Amino acid sequence: MNKEVLDGLFKPKSVAVIGASATPGKIGYSVIKSLINGGYEGPIYPINLKADEILGIKAYPTVFDVPGKIDLAVITIPAKFVLTAIEDCGKAGVKGLSVITSGFGEVGDHETEAKLVEMAHKYGMRMIGPNIIGTLSNSDKLNASFANILPLPGEASLISQSGALLIALDEATHLRGVGFDKLFSLGNMADIDFADIIEWLADDENTKCIALYIEGLKEGRRFLDVCKKVNKPVIALKAGVSAHGAAAAASHTGSLAGAAKVYGSAFEQAGIIQAANLDNLFDLTMAFELQPPMKGDNLLIVTNGGGVGVLATDSAERYGIPLKFLPDDLQKEFKNYMPDFGSAKNPVDITGGAGLEGYKKSIEFGLKQDWVDGLAVLYCETAVTDPDEIAKGIYAAIQSAGDVIKHKPVAVSFVGGDRCAKAMRWLTDNGIPAYDDPDRAVNVLGGLRQYARMQEEKAHEHDGAEIKGDYARAVKIIENARADNRDSLTEVEAKEVFEAYGLDVTKTLLAKSEQEAVDLANKIGYPIVMKIVSPDILHKSDAGGVKVNIKDDAMTREWYNIIMKNAKAYKADANIHGVAIQEMAPLGTEVILGSINDASFGPTVMFGLGGIFVEVLKDVVFAVTPVSEGQAMKMQDSIRSKQILKGARGEKPRDQKAMANLIAHYSKMILDLRDEIKESDANPVMLYEDGKGLKVVDARIILKDK
Amino acid sequence: MNKEVLDGLFKPKSVAVIGASATPGKIGYSVIKSLINGGYEGPIYPINLKADEILGIKAYPTVFDVPGKIDLAVITIPAKFVLTAIEDCGKAGVKGLSVITSGFGEVGDHETEAKLVEMAHKYGMRMIGPNIIGTLSNSDKLNASFANILPLPGEASLISQSGALLIALDEATHLRGVGFDKLFSLGNMADIDFADIIEWLADDENTKCIALYIEGLKEGRRFLDVCKKVNKPVIALKAGVSAHGAAAAASHTGSLAGAAKVYGSAFEQAGIIQAANLDNLFDLTMAFELQPPMKGDNLLIVTNGGGVGVLATDSAERYGIPLKFLPDDLQKEFKNYMPDFGSAKNPVDITGGAGLEGYKKSIEFGLKQDWVDGLAVLYCETAVTDPDEIAKGIYAAIQSAGDVIKHKPVAVSFVGGDRCAKAMRWLTDNGIPAYDDPDRAVNVLGGLRQYARMQEEKAHEHDGAEIKGDYARAVKIIENARADNRDSLTEVEAKEVFEAYGLDVTKTLLAKSEQEAVDLANKIGYPIVMKIVSPDILHKSDAGGVKVNIKDDAMTREWYNIIMKNAKAYKADANIHGVAIQEMAPLGTEVILGSINDASFGPTVMFGLGGIFVEVLKDVVFAVTPVSEGQAMKMQDSIRSKQILKGARGEKPRDQKAMANLIAHYSKMILDLRDEIKESDANPVMLYEDGKGLKVVDARIILKDK
Q: What is the pLDDT of residue B467?
A: 86
In sequence order, the β-bridge partners of residue B695 are B686
Question: For B639, which residue in chain A has the nearest alpha carbon?
Answer: A617
* Cα–chain center distance at A4: 28
Residues contacting residue B576 through CB under 8 Å, at least 6 positions apart: B532, B533, B534, B536, B537, B564, B567, B568
Among A415, A611, A616, the residue with its CB nearest the CB of B278 is: A415
Chain A stretch 306-345, residues whose beta carbon is closer than 8 A to a beta carbon of chain B: 306-311, 313-318, 322-325, 341, 343, 345
Taking the C-alpha atoms of residue B299 and residue B319, their distance in angstroms, rounded to an integer, is 12
- Where in B118-267 does DSSP place strands (E)? 126-128, 134-137, 142-145, 153-160, 180-185, 209-214, 234-238
Q: What interhelical angle do B514-524 and B553-570 show, nearest 10? A: 130
Q: What is the distance, to the nearest Å, from the Cα of residue B194 to the centroid of all Cα atoms in its chain?
A: 12
B438 touches chain A (CB under 8 A): yes
Contact between A489 and A701 under an 8 Å Cβ cutoff? The reply is yes
- pLDDT, tens digit (0-9, with 9 covering 90-100), for A478-533: 999 999 999 999 999 999 999 999 999 999 999 999 999 999 999 999 999 999 99
Among B160, B240, B345, whose Cβ lies nearest the Cβ of A314?
Answer: B240
Name the more confident of B262 and A476. Answer: A476
Residue of chain B with shortest Cα separation from A248:
B310
In this prediction, residue A249 carries a pLDDT of 47
pLDDT band at A369 (very low <50, low <70, confident <90, very high): very high
Interface check for A355 against chain B (CB to CB < 8 A): the answer is: no
**In terms of DSSP bridges, do strands A142-145 and A153-160 run parallel, antiparallel, or are they unpaired?**
unpaired
Kindly tell me the number of DSSP H helices and DSSP E strands found in chain B.
24, 29
Q: What is the pTM of this model?
A: 0.94
pLDDT confidence of residue B250: 43
With contacts defined as CB-CB under 8 Å, which chain A residues touch B617? Answer: 617, 640-641
Given a cut of 90, whether residue A444 has pLDDT beyond it is: yes
Disruptive mutation site among A104, A314, A343 for chain B (greatest number of B CBs within 10 Å) = A314
Contact predicate A381/A420, CB 8 Å: yes
Q: Count of alpha carbons within 13 Å of A383, Cβ hemisphere only?
A: 22
A183 in B contact zone (CB under 8 Å): no
Residue B584 CB-half CA count within 13 A: 15
B556 touches chain A (CB under 8 A): no
Question: What gap in Å lies between CA B428 and CA B446, rounded to an integer?
Answer: 18
Question: Beta partners for B58?
Answer: B53
Of A173, A175, A237, the CB nearest to B421: A175
What is the pLDDT averaged over residues A118-135?
A: 97
Reply yes or no on whether the pLDDT at A252 is more than 70: no
User: CB-CB: which of A242, A323, A345 is closest to B313?
Assistant: A242
A322-349 residue pLDDT tens = 999 999 999 999 999 998 889 999 999 9
Strand pairing category for B299-303 and B348-349: parallel
Q: Write the single-letter amino acid at A425.
A: R
B 152-181 residues with CB < 8 A to A: 160-162, 164-165, 167-169, 171-175
CB contact under 8 A, A306 and B162: yes
* ipTM of the complex model: 0.93
Question: Residue B624: CB partners within 8 Å, gap ≥ 6?
Answer: B220, B221, B224, B262, B265, B266, B269, B598, B601, B602, B603, B604
Residue B598 confidence class, pLDDT cut points 50, 70, 90: confident
Residues B354, B356, B361: CA angle, nearest 5 degrees? 85
Q: Is A39 on the interface with B (CB under 8 A)?
A: no
Q: How far apart are CA B341 and CA B331, in angstroms?
A: 14
With 50 as the cut, is the pLDDT of residue B255 above it?
A: no
Q: Is the CB of B345 less than 8 angstroms away from the CB of A643?
A: no
A160 bridge partner residues: A185, A213
* A252 contacts B307? CB cut-off 8 A: yes
Which of B:252-271 have CB within 8 Å of A? 252-253
Give residues with Cβ within 8 angstroms of B393, minimum separation 6.
B356, B359, B360
Predicted confidence (pLDDT) at residue A171 exceeds the cutoff of 80 = yes
pLDDT band per the 50, 70, 90 thresholds, residue A651 = confident
Q: Determine the residue of chain A that is closest to B251 in CA distance.
A: A343
Give me the mean pLDDT over the A544-557 stretch. Answer: 94
Instruction: Tell me the pLDDT band of B353, cut-offs 50, 70 and 90.
Output: confident
Confidence at B247, pLDDT banded by 50, 70, 90 = low
In 3D, which of B350, B337, B341 has the Cα closest to residue B378? Answer: B350
Mutate to test the interface with B, among A277, A310, A424 (most CBs of B within 10 A): A310
Candidates B311, B319, B542, B613: best to mutate against A (most CBs of A within 10 A) is B311
The count of residues in chain A is: 706
CA distances, A593 to each of A600, A701, B165 (Å): 20, 12, 51
Three-state secondary structure of A560-609: HHHHHHHHHHHCCCCCCCEEEEEECCCCCEEEEEEEEEECCCEEEEEEEE
In this structure, chain B runs to a length of: 706
To the nearest whole Å, the CA of A303 is away from the closest chain B CA by 11
Name the closest residue on chain B to residue A254, using Cα atoms.
B306
- pLDDT of A52 strictly over 90: yes
- Decide: residue A2, CB within 10 A, 0-12 exposed, 13-18 middle, 19+ buried: middle
Tally of CB atoms within 10 A around B317: 18
pLDDT score at B281: 98
Collapsing DSSP to helix, strand or coil, B148 comes out as coil
- The whole-number pLDDT of residue A428 equals 97
Q: CA of A460 to nearest chain B CA: how many angstroms apart?
A: 30
CA distance B301 to A598: 30
Residue percentage of chain B with pLDDT more than 70: 97
Which has the closest alpha carbon to B659: B646, B649, B678? Answer: B646
Residue A463 has pLDDT above 90, yes or no: no
**pLDDT tens figures, A670-694:** 999 999 999 999 999 999 999 999 9
Alpha-carbon gap, residue B98 to B135, rounded angstroms: 8
CA A444 → CA A183, A280, A286, A437, A447, distances in Å? 22, 8, 9, 11, 5
Looking at residue B245, its pLDDT comes to 55
Q: Are strands B153-160 and B180-185 parallel, antiparallel or unpaired?
A: parallel
Coil, strand or helix: which one is A4?
helix
How confident is the model over B449-482, as pLDDT tens digits? 999 999 998 877 766 567 889 999 999 999 999 9
* Nearest CB neighbour to A416, from listed B25, B171, B439: B171
Note whether B21 contacts A: Cβ–Cβ < 8 A: no
CB contact A146 to B (< 8 Å): yes
Confidence band for A371, pLDDT divided at 50, 70 and 90: very high
**Prior bond of A151 cis (ω within 30°):** no
Nearest C-alpha in B relative to A313: B245
pLDDT bracket for residue A541 (50, 70, 90): confident
Q: How many CB pairs under 8 A join A and B?
A: 283
